[in-house]
Amino acid sequence: MATARLLRRQPKMSLGRKLLELNWGLLFLLTLIAGCGLVMLYSAAGGSMEPWADRQAQRYGLAVCGLLVVAMVDVRFWFRMAYPIYFATLALLTLVEFFGSIGMGAQRWIDLGFIQLQPSEMMKVALILALARYFHGVAPEDIGRVTTLIPPTLLAVVPAGLVLMQPDLGTAGMLLLAALMLFFVAGVRLWMFGVVLALAAAAVPIGWGFMHDYQRQRIETFLNPEIDPLGAGYHITQSKIALGSGGVWGKGYMLGSQSHLNFLPEKQTDFIFTMLAEEWGLIGALVLLGLYILLLGYGFAIAFRVRNHFGRLLAMGVTINLFLYVFINIAMVIGLIPVVGIPLPMISYGGTVMLSLMVAYGLVMSAYIHRDQRISRRGLSEEG
């Protein structure tokens, strides 16, 4: 009752004050990276805004509005809505199995007419919300108990299993990796990760038997791209050729031969980093990586400034999610890991990915604006 009275007595921040508290540097950085994406999509279309750059620009404008709306809402509201959002997104993932649209051999989208909604991308944000709320309510002395980790493990494994059925091995892996890293941030003991890794290694032979033929082929191609250079190994072989041909300074904007002569596949989505490196060279690639590093730094800095545990975990989770996007996509196109179809955030063409990522950063902004707000384990305000 005393906590509730404190909540009622606490003055609410005005909209103007919230706008002043908004981290405009972070929003500028997001816009700068999205601008790089528009430049590359314009090039991918041969010097035309159609069919990718104009739609991406419209989606970014809508996504910025979504970010601002989410950021203005009190972080305690997102705390209370974490589980409802998670289960609503889980319901959408289930609907994909029955009513999803099929594209590129996978059933991942729900066709709403004006947009192809991909619930698996939304689940990346919903899972971070749910895990942040769960670990916020766990006492430090209980974090090491095995029984304490059963509910959050189920929160991660169930949607990952549904995504794996679509099939989408890359996104399922991202969900599990993000969850594991958030477990680490929350304070789960290292020996437990060792047990998980041992079990995962033991399950590899079993998992191999359940894989689709094309998934096995991707792994075999990763291990030996030359085994089928005109078939399964074509994508990664052309990607490496394009990366190497760019050199230090690149061939010039819209002058990349591999991409513009259509040797490079999926140049507007999965392999857009390859096209950028071919046209702008090593220098251009390092500039983009520098922007991403700054964005990651912003996320960690915000996490360290937030006083409530839920906001800290939220900011860390979103930052980890961005890192996984960037690392997996770039490692994929340079041949360090198998091709798994993970886009480069804010650069690759795609509506749901951009919208979900911007909403995620809206949550980070909300945590930052309300950074001095303390939240009890029940979601009420506490005196700081």
Give the C-alpha separation, 89 to 14, whole Å.
31
Q: Does residue 5 lie within any of the structural domains?
A: no
Q: Does residue 11 lie within any of the structural domains?
A: no
Based on the structure, what is the number of domains in the chain? 1
Q: Using CB atoms within 10 A of its CB, is residue 262 exposed (0-12), middle (13-18) or buried (19+)?
A: exposed
Q: Does residue 224 lie within any of the structural domains?
A: yes
Output Rg (C-alpha) for the chain, integer angstroms. 22
Q: Does residue 248 lie within any of the structural domains?
A: yes
Please tell me whether the peptide bond between 51 and the residue prior to it is cis, using omega within 30 degrees of 0: yes
Q: Which domain holds residue 30?
A: 23-375
Torsion angle (degrees, nearest 10) of CA 53, 116, 292, 242: -60
Residue 232: partners with Cβ closer than 8 Å, 6 or more residues away: 217, 218, 220, 221
Q: Does residue 8 lie within any of the structural domains?
A: no
Residue 117: partners with Cβ closer than 8 Å, 6 or more residues away: 92, 109, 110, 111, 352
Q: Does residue 207 lie within any of the structural domains?
A: yes
Q: Does residue 174 lie within any of the structural domains?
A: yes
Q: Per residue of the chain (384 residues), what is the pLDDT tens digit?
A: 444 444 444 557 778 888 888 889 999 999 999 999 999 999 999 889 999 999 999 999 999 999 999 999 999 999 999 999 999 999 999 888 777 666 555 557 777 665 678 889 999 999 999 999 999 999 888 887 889 999 999 999 999 999 988 778 889 999 999 999 999 999 888 888 888 788 777 777 777 666 666 667 767 666 666 666 666 577 788 888 889 888 999 999 999 888 888 888 888 889 999 999 999 999 999 999 999 999 999 999 999 999 999 999 999 999 999 999 999 999 999 988 888 889 999 999 988 889 999 999 999 999 999 988 888 766 554 443
Q: Does residue 384 lie within any of the structural domains?
A: no
Taking every pair of Cα atoms in the chain, the longest distance, rounded to a whole number of angstroms, is 70
